[in-house]
Homo-oligomer: A and B are copies of this chain.
């Protein structure tokens, strides 16, 4: 069988291979990118879906508009308005099958063979692969603890004339970094200056610990005239409510939204109306604020525990910033005093000790940094995090 050329642009992920090892009994995993299922508001979702089947079974089980189920579009518009975005109406967004589909539709709508897409280095692996299936070159822009380096971003925009710039400005995967307010405004200015689409992927922005992060690029766009015309925003209920519903959304200028809708029509016709109606009813029920409070406080505690334990176990062997939200620690093995500094090697030793994480190299579209690691604190409780880090410390030291 002869397959399409585009498949040559992607490879099976090294992380996927690692995940096959996670079945080992008793392993403590910091490898996933999942939220903790124990925090899902099952009662709330049960009530919402029962309400839907009692009162809206017709539309909830029938074909629906490609753009999304209208009661959900209304709820999501309100949700975004509450987060400081101006001018939101149900027509400002389309519902997608998770935000992964939003990424696919953006790529399908915008990217040709030979185009350049700029992403953060490191960034979400499934974005790199998703984009590459449409043929562009994907290039990484360096980041630091305050997010993407806007000086280098501008240099690369000038040099490569990208079709789009993709960022996860708030608690990014894998970096955990939070783009500063100053840099956010600069990104918006660059979008206007170079007439370039900026994609803001924001699945983690609601998962902050303590103080709220700066507003999203979308919410800030009123401060930079013209920037809204270049802004694309992807949202998701996966990290805050349930990934199993596969409910995400895409906000974009009308011309792009219309074309993304056409592409979606031929991708999956529409997102499950049953899942959409359930999500809409959940949001309408008013339970989301309490759910968010709960999730934030649990993750905050786990992040604090993991940070202290990493410090204790690795000392100067590891450099990292304490995340202010999200699900991830991003760290770099320093190699100080001749210690182990290869992420993949440590990952293998860690599995032998009964603990898992993912090496950071695969998260780079180019120029991978082999000294990096990603650890998720989301799914292990505080005791498991302590135990897991002790094991990781033994793997690191070779005890």
Task: Please give the residue numbers on chain A whose beta carbons come within 8 Å of chain B beta carbons, in ascending order.
Answer: 1-7, 10, 12, 34, 37, 40, 42, 45-46, 49-50, 53-54, 57-64, 96-98, 100-101, 103-104, 108-112, 126, 129-130, 133-134, 163, 197, 230, 238, 242-246, 253, 255-256, 259, 262-263, 265-275, 277-278
Contact B267 A104, beta carbon cutoff 8 Å: yes
Known A-B contacts A266-B133, A271-B246, A275-B272; the reply to A53 vs B62 at CB < 8 A is: no
Contact B259 A61, beta carbon cutoff 8 Å: no
Known A-B contacts A61-B40, A62-B37; the reply to A104 vs B45 at CB < 8 A is: no
Q: Which 6 A-B pairs have the closest CB atoms?
A: A130-B266, A244-B273, A61-B244, A61-B242, A97-B268, A246-B272
Contact A269 B126, beta carbon cutoff 8 Å: yes
Identical copies of this chain, number: 2
Known A-B contacts A61-B242, A245-B272, A275-B272; the reply to A266 vs B3 at CB < 8 A is: no
Contact A255 B1, beta carbon cutoff 8 Å: yes
Contact A12 B259, beta carbon cutoff 8 Å: no
A130, closest chain B residue (CB):
B266
Contact A242 B274, beta carbon cutoff 8 Å: yes
Best-buried of A6, A46, A61, A255 by chain B (most CB within 10 Å): A61
Which residues from chain B contact A133 at a C-beta distance below 8 Å? 108, 263, 266
Contact B37 A61, beta carbon cutoff 8 Å: yes
Which residues from chain B contact A1 at a C-beta distance below 8 Å? 110, 197, 230, 253, 255-256
